[in-house]
Amino acid sequence: MKNISNNRATDKLIFALDVQSCKEALSWIDLLSGHVGMFKVGKELFTAFGPKIVDSIKEKNQKIFLDLKFHDIPNTVARAAQAAVKLGVDMFNIHATGGSKMISETVSAVDVCAANLKIKKPVILAVTVLTSLDDHDLNEIGFKKNADELVIDLARMAVCAGASGVVASPCDIYALRNNLGNDFVIVTPGIRAGEKKEKADDQKRTLSAYEAIKAGADYIVVGRPISAAEKPLEACGQIIQEIAEGLAARI
């Protein structure tokens, strides 16, 4: 088995700042700085505090995943993406169901903006199918394909349109890698706490950190398994160990 350093494993862990106050968010950053690779700012935190929260995190020299899932007409999403570039985020996402034109125009706008600012462009992720949706939900919305098929189709379209990668359920990672290869980024939420032993959990479309990384995820997003733990740093360390073991177990 390969020997994987904890530093490399740490880089793959994104902590979800799913909290209700700026003070609480910054407290988590102070606690977990050096123990995770990036912090995720979602709709709740960004709606409440706006760009200020991003600025506060950047002042602490931490990487940021802006999880706002932009989904609108191409021009609107492209402009929102440029605003994200100017904020200095390291990663952000858009909905793949916005279509290839929305994605390609967003990618072009980001390229131009980053070049003008002379900064590294952020990773652009396309959200495939939310981990909360199952086949029944998708059919109710109007999709005729099941979740497994839809994820592959949306991911292929998004990557061909220029997206850096996708956000997908951990249960979809094997299929994504088998169908589309390794030349794109996979970020996966839906990570549960627990042993690395595989367990059936199809309805929730979740896996452990070990399973997700072994399957081919580049980053995992973790919130409650750390924030709700009695000893958050200990829980974080256990997840990092799972990531390291998952990396070592890759063929």
Q: Helix count (H) and strand count (E) of the chain?
A: 12, 10
Distance CA 122, CA 85 (A): 7
Distance CA 162, CA 190 (A): 25
121 is catalytic: no
Q: Which of 12, 40, 60, 69 is catalytic?
A: 69
Other Cβ atoms less than 10 A from the Cβ of 137: the count is 13
Distance CA 146, CA 135 (A): 5
Q: Which one, of 161, 192, 178, lies nearest residue 251 by Cα?
A: 178
CA atoms within 13 A on the CB side of 163: 31
Q: Is 196 exposed, middle or buried (0-12, 13-18, 19+ CB in 10 A)?
A: middle
DSSP string, 7-28: HHHHHTEEEE---S-HHHHHHH
- Asked if 206 and 200 count as a contact pair (C-beta separation under 8 A), the reply is no
Distance CA 57, CA 105 (A): 28
Tokens of 123: 């990773």
Please list the active-site residues: 69
